[in-house]
Amino acid sequence: MHVKHTQPKRLSIGIVGGGIGGVAFAVALSRDSGLDVQLFEAAPQFSEIGAGVSFGPNAVRAIQLLGLEAAYQRIADASPAPFEDVWFEWRRGSDDTYLTASLAPGVGQSSVHRADFLDAIVAHLPEGIAHFGKRCVAVTQDAASATAHFDDGTHFTGDVIIGFDGIKSAVRSHVLPPDQFGDIAPFWSGTYAYRGMIPTHTLETALEANGSEKRLAWVPQMYLGKDRHILTFPVKQSQLVNVVAFITDRSVPHPRLPDGEEWVQAVSQQEMLHVFQGWSPACQAILASIAEPTRWALHELPELPFYRRERVMVVGDAAHALVPHQGAGAGQALEDAYVLATLLTDVRCDHRPVSDVLAAFEHVRHARTCRAQRTSHDAGDVYEYSGKGIGGDESKLIHDLENRFDWLWNHDPHDDVIAARQYLETVSRDRL
């Protein structure tokens, strides 16, 4: 399946998975004419679920560094002045009382419709790189190469295989073989998320009818309560409001999803309204405006001991899938894409074993992505009055919300590149 080239390429890279992270990674690599880049997607075409995705300042920085800012800004939503720096306003779910706001200066609640963002990135992908209907079923490697095997009987052999293939990753079982590491499977977080999209004018009308301010429709909001919370933010140039309403089972330490239950299913509006019975007028207006909600069983991965095995690596959700409570998942995938692409497009990358470059990437990214997983889970506890040492104490809750995101947002992915290059220099010196 190799593409023939008139001159030998410095490095051949196979990417498994064509979501936002995988495509952004492929676009960044494709700008280097010294690389042979091939992307394999299981679906018949690029597609994303129709949901909103939120980006913190760190993710917007990664988008800029990836050279995708213009494409992003054309579709990104932001709150109108004077709320442009608001990431979320936080309110008590029982009565809409304002608690505080988390501010992300210069970025605010930068959000997009997932499908729109994927389309915008795909527009930058050169012809001939993407291959569809290619579901990876196994990965093998030897000292000189790595091979991805697909369910249609074809395969791709290159210098490196990168698994950007999501929480149900097939590449992950090669990196962490089950006979050595057990079955590393996604686990249910205990949280269900009811999702829906509401036309903004519909929600404004419903809010006003319930005696609430209509600006709650277009300024991002979080409504907090015991074992439940609701978030809203605008997407599609503020034509739609993305709504997610969460409920968590904390009755047992490790709740299990009923056997055979689908992760995503259509449910009745009645079920959702029952879950939030007695909540505030604004919350009632929001939920009553979603005629056909879907319910998502939110899964995450345990923290993996490592992300790579010689020439094969998992990144993004395949390596560190997390719950969405800090809006950090897509951001971590984009940071991964920028850092790894920058290391692989370095012209010196052919002068050393490429597995050293993957090791350097893992060295600088592992602790941060594991922390993003851990703190995202913790954030859900905080929002639902179950945070360690916080519980229902709103003064402690407010302090946490005002400071929780600093470490996540104030990160420059280029610092990871610098640290990885220092690591590689140390490795080279140690070998002399």
Q: Distance between CA atoms of 24 and 30, rounded to whole angstroms?
A: 10
Residues in CB range of 284: below 8 A, 6 or more apart:
210, 273, 276
Chain-centre distance for alpha carbon 5: 35
CB 284, CB 230: distance < 8 Å: no
Catalytic residue selected from 172, 195, 308, 311: 195
Q: Are 289 and 198 in contact (CB under 8 A)?
A: yes
Closest by CA position to 375, among listed 328, 318, 315, 317: 328
240: burial class by Cβ within 10 Å (0-12, 13-18, 19+)? buried
Q: Rounded to an integer, what distance in angstroms lies between the CA atom of residue 348 and that of residue 320?
A: 29
C-alpha 404/C-alpha 408 separation (Å) is 8
Tokens of 396: 């402690």
Contact 10, 349 (CB under 8 A): yes
Check if the beta carbon of residue 226 is closer than 8 Å to that of residue 392.
yes
In this structure, how many other beta carbons lie within 10 angstroms of the beta carbon of residue 227? 18
Q: Do the beta carbons of residue 155 and residue 133 sit within 8 Å?
A: no
Q: Are strands 86-92 and 221-225 parallel, antiparallel or unpaired?
A: parallel
Residues in the chain: 432
Catalytic annotation present for 374? no
Cα–Cα distance for residue pair 285/267, rounded to 1 Å: 18
- Nearest Cα residue to 222 out of 197, 188, 246, 202: 246
Instruction: Name the residues annotated as catalytic.
Output: 195
